A and B are shown apart, each in its own frame.
Chain A
Amino acid sequence: MRSCGLIVGLLLCVTYSLAQYRPENGTPPTELKKIALTKVDVYVRPGEKLEQVTVLIEGQKIVRIGTFIPVPKEYLEIEREGYTVVPAFIETHSSAGTEKAKSTYQGYLPQLESSKNGDYYWNEAIHPEIRAVESLNSGDSRFDELKKLGFGFVTPIQNDGLVQGTAPLIALGAKKPSDFVLRPDISSHFSFNKGVSQQTYPSSLMGSIALMRQALYDLAFFKYHKDAPLGKLSMEPWLTSDPLPTFFKVNDKWDILRAQKIAQEFNRSFIYITRGDEYAIADQLKTSNPRLVVPLNFPKPFDLKDPYTAKEIPLEELKHWELAPYNFIFLKNQGLRVALSSEGSTSTSLWGSIRSLISHGAKVEDVLDALTMAPASFLGVDSLVGSLEPGKLASFGLYGKDPFLYESEMYEMWSLGIPENVKPLISNTLGRFNLILKNQRFEMTLVGDPKKPTVSLLELKDIWDAKIKIYKKDTVKTSVNFSNTEQDVTLQFTLKENQQVHPYVLRGKIVGNGSVWEGDLIYPDGSWGQWSAIRKAKATDTSGKINLDNSPLPKCWFPNMAYGFEVLPSAVNTVFENVTIWTNTEAGILQDGFVVVQDGLISYVGTNRPNYPPNAHIINGKGLHLTSGIIDEHSHIAISRGVNEGGQSISAEVSIGDVVFPEDISIYRQLAGGVTAAQLLHGSANAIGGQSALVKLKWGVTPEAMKIDQAPGFIKCALGENVKQSNWGERNVIRFPQTRMGVEQVFYDAFYRAKEYKKQWEAVASFGANCPPESLPRKDLELEVMAEILDSKRFITCHSYVQSEVNMLMKVADSMRFRVNTFTHILEGYKVADKMKNHGVGGSTFADWWAYKFEVNDAIPYNAALMHQQGVTVAINSDDAEMGRRLNQEAAKTIKYGGLSEIEAWKLVTLNPAKLLHLEHRMGSVSLGKDADLVLWSDNPLSILAKVKLTMVDGIVYYSEEKNSELAQRNQQEKMRLMVKMSENSSHTEAKRSFFPKKKKFFHCDTLGEEGTTLENMH
C-alpha cells in the first residue's frame, strides 16, 4: 500500500511479534514494521551518496537500499522526493541524562581519606564501579536536543573524576526501555580532572597523572590478588569493564601527549576527547596516530566594542579563534581518524559549524565519517550503526536538501525505523506551472527558497488584433503573494482589467509530490469556483548553497602566541669573534677571543683565530661579553596546572616531568635574561614533594623536546613552615606533620618503607623476566622513587631555611647512607656551612630575600658568600618568574654582600648550578665540546647595565635583540589583522563573547591547587 501523506503519530499495523518477553497490559501496542522510503537521496556511508533511491526498513533495521527496488506489497511506502537522508550521528562526549556530580564530604577540616562507605578504592577520584546506565534519566531534555541535531546514538556519562566508570550506548528516540539502552556498558572514561572529590589528594595535574598510573598498576595487581585491600567494590567491576574502549577527556593538546605516555606504559590505547587546539601539534600527532573526538563548538568572536578590553585580549586567544575552525582540517591533513562532537554546541550553531568546516575545505565524506563511522568504530559498533547499509539500525535524519552543501533543515528524524516529525514537511513547489481558472490561463513560476518562494504569474491572453484580424498572444506579468504550510497553499494577486483592479484569493492543497495543486477561489465578481495548477517543469532548490573559501589555511606559530616563531629556528654554525669570553675555566676571562659553534656544540674557544666552519654565521663581539647560559637551579615556570601535590605529606610519585608546559611566556622572557636551562621543581607544600624536570629553555618546541636528555633524576623535598602548613590558615591543622619533630619522622617512615619495598623486589629479582606475574609484588610508584634515592640514583633538592632542620635531614641521609644533593633557599646555610661541606651537600639560595616568613628572620644576603667560602658549591636561583630574568644581577649582589670576585660571582648562576644538577660535563662553562648554550651580553654581565644581545641553546638562537623587536612589531600587526578580521567576519547577529581579563598567575613554592597565584610572598 502507499501512503502519500504524513504518517506522523499514526503507526500502522503491518506485523507484530507474537512473542512476549514481558506481560502486557492488554493487547500489545501496534507497531509499524515494514517501511519503504522512496525517492530520497541517501548518504549511505561516508563517500557514497545515492540519489533517488528506495530504502527498505524492517523493524529497526535497514534491509535493502538501491535505485530500482520495487516496493514489496507488504511495505508501507513513504515518498520523500527531494529530501536527503543522512545517517544518524553518534555523540561520544555527552553527559545527557546524568546528574551533576556532587561530593559527599561536608566537613570543615581537610578531607585526607575517602568518605565513601564500603570497600572502594582509597581515592574518591577513582570510581570505575560507576555505571552511568544505572542512574540515567531517559527523560532528560538533553537527549531530545541531541536528536534534533541529527544524533541517533549517544554514550552519556557523568563527567567526573579520573577513572569515571562506564557509559552505555543509548539509542535516541527509542520508544521502549529495551530499545533505549543498546549496550549497558560500551565505553569506559578517563580524564585528568579530579572532579568533585574533596579528598586533598590529588591537588594537581601531576598528582592526577600519578594517581591514575598507580590505580592502573593496582588493577594489574588485583587481577592476580583478589584479596588485596585495594577496594573490591571498585576493582571487580573495573576488571570487567577494562576491555572496553576508553575515552580520555583532556583539557588541552598537551594532555594528549601526557595521556599517550600512560597509554604506552600500560600498553593501552585511548580515544581522546579534545579541546580543539590540536592543530598546533598535528604533525607530531601523526606519528602516534591517536583517535580523537574534537569539538564542533568553535570559539565565538570577542566583543571588541571597548578599546580597554580589546587591549587586554591576548594574541593567543585571537589566534585560536582564527584557527579553531580549521582544527579538523589540520588533523585530517595528517591522516588522523577524527570524530566530531556537538558538546557545547546549540541547535543553531552546530550545523553552522559543520558547514563552515566544509566551506573551509573539509571533505564532506570526512565530516560525515567524523560524525558517524569514526565514533562507531571507536566504540566498536560500526557493524551496527554509523551508516545506512543493510543490516544496520535505521536511524537517520531527513533533510530538506543536502545539509552539508546547503543551508538546510531537518524535517524528520528516524529512530530505529520509526519516523518522527521535527518540522512540517514542505513539498518542493518550485518550477513552472499552468494555473487554470475558469476562463483564464496563467503561467506561474516559483523560484528561490521552497519555504518562501518568489511567485510570479504571466497571464496568457489572446488579444484580437483588428488590423490583421487574428488573435495575438499577449502576456501580463503579476506578482503573487504566496504562502504554503505543509500541504496547503494560498495565492493572492490582483489583475488589472479596464482600469479596474480585480483581487483574486486562491486556496488549495498540494496533491502528491507537488506537481498538482487544486482548490477553490472567489472570483472578483463574487462567484465561487475551482482552480488547479499543473507543473510543467520542475526546478531544483539551489538556495543557500555554501560558499567554498579558498583562502589558505591560517598559520600556526610555535608556540601559537605572542613571540611565537613562524618557523622554528634551527642550529647554525656560528663564530663569535673579538669577544670577551667568560670561560668559567682556568682560562678565566679571555679578551678578544673566538668561540666556534658547530652542530650545537662548542668546537673552539681561544684567542687565536680558528678555522671557520663552512657557511658559518659570524658575529662580531667587539665590546661585547660572551658567557655560558644561566642555569636556574630553582624555577617554577613552564608548568601546567599545579606546582604542588600537597594532598599528602609524601608524594614522591608525582613528576613535574609529566606537566611541562612549553607555552609559558616566561620561557621567552627568561631567554631574554640569558637563562638557557632550569630545574623545574615541585613546590614545598609537603615533606617529600615530587620529581623535577630538567629542561633547556627552547621556545616553541614540545615538552619532551625541552627536557634535557639523559639528565639525572631529581626530587624536591621540603622542611619547615610550608611542610608544617604554618601559614595555611586555621583549617590546615590535621595533616601530619605540624612540627619540625614530625618532619623528621615523615622522612624515616618513607625511607624505611622504601627499604622494605626494595627487599620485596629483590626477592623476585632472580626470576628476571620469567617471574610469573602473579608472583610479582605490588608496584608502588611512591616507594619506587624513594628507593631510587636510597640507591643514589635520584638526588634530593631540599627546600630548607633554618639550621636545625638542615642538620636533621643530613643526619637522616647519613643514617640511610646517601647524600642530600642540594639544599635550596638554605637561608641559614651560613650557620652550618661547615657541616654542609662535610656532608657534601650544595646550597642554592636567594641573593637577598628575607622577611617573608618567620623562618627567614635570620636570613642574610651574605649567606652565599659564607657558604662559598666554606667550600660549599653554591648557586643563586630565582624561584620567581620575574627574578629569573635578572639572575645576572642577583649573582652580582654576592660581590656587594660578602666580597666574592666577579668570576666567582658569575659561576653562582652558571657553572655551580650545572654542578648541582650533575650537568657540568655538558653545561656551565664556555669550553670545548660543551653544549653551545651561550649568551652574548652588551656589557659585563654582572653590571646593572648589561643587556642580552643574543641567547643560543644547543647552537640555536632562540632570542636576539633584533629578532625580538621584529617579533614585537609583528605581534602587533597580527593582532590588528585578527581584530579587523573578527569585526568583519562576525555578523551583527552572531553571538559574541565578552573578554574577561584575568590576572596572570604564577607558581611559587607553596602555591596550591591547579591555579597559580597572584601572591608574591610565597617561597
Chain B
Amino acid sequence: MKTIYYLLISLSLSLTTQGQRILIANGYLHPVEGQEITSSLIEIENGKIIGIKNALSESYNLKDWDTVIDATNQHVYPGFVAANSTLGLTEIDAIRATHDFEEVGVFNAHVRAQVAYNVESKVLETVKSNGVLLVQTTPRGGAISGNSSIMTAAGWNWEDATVLRDDGMHVNWPDASWHNNLKGEDNKAELSYLEEIRQLQAFFNLAQVYKEEAPDALDLRLEAMKACFEGKKRTYFHANSVRQLSDILTFCANIPLKFPVIVGGNDAYLLGQRLVDSKIPIMIERIHRLPDHDDDPIDQPFRLPALLANMGVSFCLQNAGGMEAMNTRNLPFLAGTAQAYGLSEQEALRSITLSPCEIMGIDQQFGSLEIGKSATLFVSKGPALDMKSNQVTCILIRGKIESVRNFQEDLFLKYQKKYAKAKN
C-alpha cells in the first residue's frame, strides 16, 4: 500500500513495520555533516538512511516507496540530542513521588538510569514535539551519581527505547567554593574539598585495582567502573569553576580513563591550551543562564560555545538546570542563542546533534543525516533553532514514524473547539 503524508495533516498514525521503505521528498536538508541540499530526497529502509539525493536533479517513483513524506518548503534535521538530562526520570518537580533521578548514597557507581526511564512520560512527549529525539537520561546526586543511558524519546518500554545502555558514569566533582562553608569558616571548605578529592581518588584507584586483579568477590560498584577504564563507558565529570576543571585535568592525567568528559564547564574557556591539549570535550551547561558573577560579561554564558569553538575544544550543548526536564524542549533555542553569539548556523546545529553523539560515542549511527545512519530525524516548517519557526510536522525515530502531537496540543485543540462551538 502506498501512502503519502501531506504534512499539514496531522500524523497520529503510527506504522509498526520496520521493513518499511520511506522517502522524505523535497525538504531542505540540514545534514550537519556535508552540504545542505535545498530540495532533497532522503531514502530510508529498515530504519536506516540508504540514500540522499538532490530532488532538483533526481526524480523518484512513488511506487518504489511504502511511504512518501512530502516536505516541500520544509526543513529536515537529524533528531536533536538532549545530553545530560533527567528527562524520563521525573515528572513534577514539587512531587517527590515522581522523582527517580537521585539515589541515596555517595558512591552510586552501580545505579543505572536506564531502568527508570519512563517512555510514557508526559514531559517527554512535549520535548519530542520540538525535535528532541534522543535523550541521555542521567542520574543526579552523590559523589558518583551512577550510569546514564541513551534513549529514544519514544518507545514501548525502556528496552525498546534504549540506544546505548550505560553509556557513561557520572561523577560530581567536589565544590570548594561554598557548600561546606555555610558558616564562613576559614579553611574548612578548603580542607573538605581536598578530602573529598582524596576519597574520589581512592575510589577510582580501588576500581583500577579491581579491574586489573581478579576479584575475590563481586563488588557491584567497582564492577560498574570497569568499563570506564576499558573505553566502553564515558566518565562524565560534572563541574563548572576553573579550579574544579583544572583539578579534573590533573586527575584525568593520572588515571587511565579512556573517555573523560566535562559536564558544565562554565569556566572552561579560562583553561586555555591545557584544555585543548587534554582533548577532553565539554558538555556546556544550559547557556540560557545568568553569569556566575556580577562582574562577568553579561553575555558570558551565551558566548561560551563560540569561545570554546575558537579555542578548538570539542563541545556540545546540554540543558541541565532548573526545571530541566520540561525545559529540554527549549534545547534547540539554546543552539539558536549560541548562533546569535558567535557560532555559525552549522556549528550551532552540530552542537545539539553530531557533537553530543560524538562525545557520547554514538556518532556512527546518530547525529547527522548520512547514508548508513539511523533515520532518526524530523521535519520542521521553518528553521528549527528559532522558536519563531520551529514547527515540527513529522518525526522518525529509527525509521519509525512517531506522533508529533502531545497532550498539551490535545488540550489546546479541545478548548479551541469549545470556544469555536460557543461562537456558533
Complexed CA–CA distance, A860 and B123 (Å) = 11
Interface of chain A residues 629 through 687 with chain B (CB within 8 A):
665-666, 668-669, 672
Complexed CA–CA distance, A895 and B408 (Å) = 16
Interface of chain B residues 397 through 424 with chain A (CB within 8 A):
408-409, 411-412, 415-416, 419, 422
Contact yes or no, A869 B242, CB < 8 A: no
Contact yes or no, A997 B289, CB < 8 A: no
Contact yes or no, B177 A997, CB < 8 A: yes
Interface of chain B residues 320 through 362 with chain A (CB within 8 A):
321-323, 325-326, 329-330, 333, 336-337, 339-341
Contact yes or no, B181 A851, CB < 8 A: no
Partner of B178 from A849, A886, A898, A996 at Cβ < 8 Å: A996
Complexed CA–CA distance, A882 and B322 (Å) = 11
Contact yes or no, A851 B323, CB < 8 A: yes
Question: Contacts A851-B123, A862-B412, A1017-B323; is A834 near B419 (CB within 8 Å)?
Answer: yes
Question: Contacts A672-B298, A862-B408, A870-B419; is A942 near B388 (CB within 8 Å)?
Answer: yes
Contact yes or no, A312 B177, CB < 8 A: yes
Q: Does B92 contact A (CB under 8 A)?
A: yes
Complexed CA–CA distance, A214 and B210 (Å) = 70
Q: Does A831 contact B (CB under 8 A)?
A: yes
Contact yes or no, B92 A668, CB < 8 A: no
Contact bitstring B293-306, A, C-beta under 8 A = 1, else 0 = 11101110000000
Contact bitstring B374-388, A, C-beta under 8 A = 1, else 0 = 000000000001111
Q: Does B58 contact A (CB under 8 A)?
A: no
Give min CB distance, A852 to chain B, whole Å: 4
Contact yes or no, B387 A996, CB < 8 A: no
Q: Does B93 contact A (CB under 8 A)?
A: yes
Interface of chain A residues 508 through 530 with chain B (CB within 8 A):
none
Chain A contact residue count (CB 8 A cutoff): 68
CB-CB nearest in chain A for B348: A944
Q: Does B290 contact A (CB under 8 A)?
A: yes
Q: Does B46 contact A (CB under 8 A)?
A: no
CB-CB nearest in chain A for B411: A860
Contact bitstring A724-742, B, C-beta under 8 A = 1, else 0 = 0011000000000000000
Q: Does B184 contact A (CB under 8 A)?
A: yes
Contact yes or no, B415 A854, CB < 8 A: no
Give min CB distance, A722 to chain B, whole Å: 10
Partner of A892 from B94, B322, B388 at Cβ < 8 Å: B388
Q: Does A314 contact B (CB under 8 A)?
A: yes
Give min CB distance, B121 to chain A, whole Å: 10
Contact bitstring A310-354, B, C-beta under 8 A = 1, else 0 = 011011100000000000000000000000000000000000000
Q: Does B186 contact A (CB under 8 A)?
A: yes
Contact yes or no, A308 B243, CB < 8 A: yes
Q: Does A269 contact B (CB under 8 A)?
A: no
Complexed CA–CA distance, A964 and B297 (Å) = 9
Contact yes or no, B292 A943, CB < 8 A: no
Q: Does A93 contact B (CB under 8 A)?
A: no
Interface of chain A residues 864 through 904 with chain B (CB within 8 A):
866, 869-870, 881-883, 886, 889, 892-893, 895-898, 902
Question: Contacts A311-B242, A833-B419, A944-B339; is A964 near B412 (CB within 8 Å)?
Answer: no
Contact yes or no, A308 B290, CB < 8 A: no
Q: Does A850 contact B (CB under 8 A)?
A: yes
Complexed CA–CA distance, A858 and B297 (Å) = 38
- Summarize A's interface: helix, strand, loop or mixed: loop
CB-CB nearest in chain B for A670: B298
CB-CB nearest in chain B for A881: B290
Q: Does B192 contact A (CB under 8 A)?
A: no
Q: Does A138 contact B (CB under 8 A)?
A: no
CB-CB nearest in chain B for A721: B94
CB-CB nearest in chain A for B95: A854
Q: Count A-B contacts at CB 8 Å.
A: 151
* B330 proximity list for chain A (CB < 8 A): 848
Give min CB distance, B177 to chain A, whole Å: 5
Complexed CA–CA distance, A854 and B419 (Å) = 26
Q: Does B390 contact A (CB under 8 A)?
A: yes
Question: Contacts A830-B412, A851-B92, A964-B298; is A892 near B177 (CB within 8 Å)?
Answer: no
Contact yes or no, B297 A889, CB < 8 A: no
Q: Does A857 contact B (CB under 8 A)?
A: yes
Contact yes or no, A944 B92, CB < 8 A: no
* A996 proximity list for chain B (CB < 8 A): 178, 181, 184, 189
Contact yes or no, A945 B336, CB < 8 A: yes
CB-CB nearest in chain A for B302: A947
* B409 proximity list for chain A (CB < 8 A): 860, 862
Q: Does A946 contact B (CB under 8 A)?
A: yes
Q: Does B391 contact A (CB under 8 A)?
A: yes
Give min CB distance, A670 to chain B, whole Å: 10
Complexed CA–CA distance, A946 and B386 (Å) = 11
Q: Does A85 contact B (CB under 8 A)?
A: no
Contact yes or no, A945 B339, CB < 8 A: yes
Contact yes or no, B94 A853, CB < 8 A: yes
Q: Does B166 contact A (CB under 8 A)?
A: no
CB-CB nearest in chain A for B270: A311
Give min CB distance, A882 to chain B, whole Å: 5
Complexed CA–CA distance, A202 and B176 (Å) = 35
Q: Does B370 contact A (CB under 8 A)?
A: no
CB-CB nearest in chain B for A1019: B323
Complexed CA–CA distance, A316 and B177 (Å) = 19
* A947 proximity list for chain B (CB < 8 A): 340-341
Q: Does A100 contact B (CB under 8 A)?
A: no
Complexed CA–CA distance, A999 and B325 (Å) = 23
Q: Does A112 contact B (CB under 8 A)?
A: no
Complexed CA–CA distance, A576 and B123 (Å) = 45
Give min CB distance, A959 to chain B, whole Å: 9
Contact bitstring B150-185, A, C-beta under 8 A = 1, else 0 = 000000000000000000000000001110010010
Contact yes or no, B415 A830, CB < 8 A: yes
* A968 proximity list for chain B (CB < 8 A): 297-298
Partner of B325 from A834, A851, A857, A892 at Cβ < 8 Å: A851
Complexed CA–CA distance, A883 and B329 (Å) = 15
Contact yes or no, B178 A975, CB < 8 A: no
Complexed CA–CA distance, A382 and B181 (Å) = 47
Complexed CA–CA distance, A417 and B341 (Å) = 75
Interface of chain A residues 536 through 587 with chain B (CB within 8 A):
561-563
Give min CB distance, A825 to chain B, whole Å: 14
Among B122, B298, B337, the one with the most A-chain Cβ atoms within 10 Å of its Cβ is B298
Contact yes or no, A852 B336, CB < 8 A: no
Contact yes or no, B388 A886, CB < 8 A: no
CB-CB nearest in chain A for B335: A944
Contact yes or no, A314 B293, CB < 8 A: yes
Question: Could you list 9 examples of A-B contacts with CB < 8 Å?
Answer: A851-B323, A861-B408, A866-B419, A869-B419, A943-B388, A944-B388, A947-B341, A975-B295, A1000-B294
The 6 A-B residue pairs with the shortest CB-CB distance in the complex, in nearest-first order? A1016-B322, A944-B336, A862-B412, A851-B326, A860-B408, A562-B295
Extra pairs beyond A866-B416, A944-B340 (9, CB < 8 Å):
A668-B298, A848-B329, A886-B288, A892-B386, A892-B387, A896-B390, A996-B181, A997-B178, A1015-B322
